[in-house]
Amino acid sequence: MRLSEVSGQNFVLYERSYAPGFHDLIFGMLRDAGIVPNISQTAAELSMLISLVDAHMGVAILPLSAVKHSVASVVACDILDRIPMSEIGMAVRKGTRAPVADTFRSFALKSLGHLRNA
């Protein structure tokens, strides 16, 4: 689905005060698609946003994993537009580096290399 297909729809968005980076990422995607969203509701939790979509309050742009594991009757659609990469991080205990952290770092760097070469 292209973002232009939801132009004119109501949107439910994550509350900016809880996740300013994610909120700004979504607004940037909509801006780049030429969409000024009509925000019908905001929420502090992803599960609440999914429930609002299920209640016909609007559409939401959310991580696919959140939608796939939802019990609500919503449909997840891939966004076909070029979308920005999201930053992720890993929290590890100071002074301790578990092997899983090194494994994740290697995986992330390898995956990033594949994306850059594509």
* pLDDT tens, per residue, the chain with 118 residues: 999 999 999 999 989 998 898 889 999 999 999 999 999 999 999 889 999 999 999 999 988 887 777 777 888 888 998 887 766 677 777 777 778 888 888 888 887 776 555 4
Does the pTM of the predicted model rise above 0.95? no
Q: Give the angle subtended at the CA of 39 by the CAs of 18 and 71, to the nearest 5°.
A: 70
Residue 101: how many CB atoms within 10 A of its CB?
A: 14
Cβ burial 40-72 (10 Å sphere, 16+ → b, else e): ebbbeebeebbbbbeeebbbbbbeeeebeebee
